[in-house]
Amino acid sequence: MAMLPSLFGPGGLDRMIEEMRRLQEGLEKSFGSLAPMPVFRTDWRPAIDVKETDTGLVVTAELPGMSEQDVELSVEDDLLTIKGEKKSESSKEDKGWHVQERSYGAFVRTLQLPFTPKPEEVTAEFAKGVLTITIPRPPEPAKPSSRIAIKSTG
């Protein structure tokens, strides 16, 4: 699949949403929350890092409080999709809580890769709340080259 130009520049829609989230957090810090208690968000999204190596890409996603059973990972063409749900912990005893600031909810993160990997070669490990995905770069096909004969004119 060819890389299409994004309307939102490099990083696409994910980058734009993260920037809007940072702006919102800045406004909340500057002016304070309008609600008497913190707003509990269900639009939680894990932080993701992408590192390029000599052999491909390594993607890490911070998924605190989750296990590998809560996460689904897929590769289709040049798209890597991580989706899952961080479930709310419920307790029958509500005494003593004044504020509980944890985000819960379903999420989907889709990253466009700079190449189309072979899905059977992609590996994933989950340890201490961090998902690490290793995506080997497929070998580039040999580029055809032809020797051009040079004719003498004189």
99 located within any domain: no
DSSP characters for 61-118?
A: EE-TT--GGGEEEEEETTEEEEEEEEPPP--S--TT-S------EEEEEEEE-SS---
Q: Tell me how far apart the alpha carbons of residues 124 and 25 are, in angstroms, rounded to a whole number.
A: 32
153 located within any domain: no
Overall domain count for the chain: 2
Domain hosting 108: range is 42-86+104-137
User: What are the average pLDDT values for consecutive 10-residue runs of the chain, which has 154 residues?
Assistant: 50 72 74 48 77 95 90 93 79 60 79 93 95 93 83 83
Closest CA to 82 of 62, 54, 64: 62
- Whether residue 112 is found in the same domain as residue 51: yes
23 located within any domain: yes
- Whether residue 11 is found in the same domain as residue 32: yes
- Whether residue 66 is found in the same domain as residue 53: yes
Quick one: pLDDT at residue 1?
41
- Whether residue 21 is found in the same domain as residue 71: no
Kindly report the backbone phi and psi dihedral angles of residue 18, in degrees, each rounded to the nearest multiple of 5, phi listed first.
Answer: -60, -40
Quick one: pLDDT at residue 49?
94
Task: Convert the pLDDT of each residue in 47-81 to its tens digit.
Answer: 899 999 999 999 999 998 888 998 999 999 999 99
In the chain, the N- to C-terminal Cα span, in Å, equals 48
- Whether residue 82 is found in the same domain as residue 34: no
- Whether residue 113 is found in the same domain as residue 78: yes
DSSP characters for 122-134?
A: -EEEEETTEEEEE
Residues 6+ apart with CB under 8 A from 76: none
Q: Are 80 and 133 in contact (CB under 8 A)?
A: yes
- Whether residue 80 is found in the same domain as residue 113: yes
- Whether residue 47 is found in the same domain as residue 35: no
- Whether residue 60 is found in the same domain as residue 23: no
Q: Are 62 and 86 in contact (CB under 8 A)?
A: no
Quick one: pLDDT at residue 76?
93
CATH assignment of the domain containing 126: 2.60.40.790
- Whether residue 7 is found in the same domain as residue 30: yes
Quick one: pLDDT at residue 85?
86
Quick one: pLDDT at residue 37?
41
Quick one: pLDDT at residue 102?
67
Tokens 């072979």 belong to 118
Quick one: pLDDT at residue 94?
60
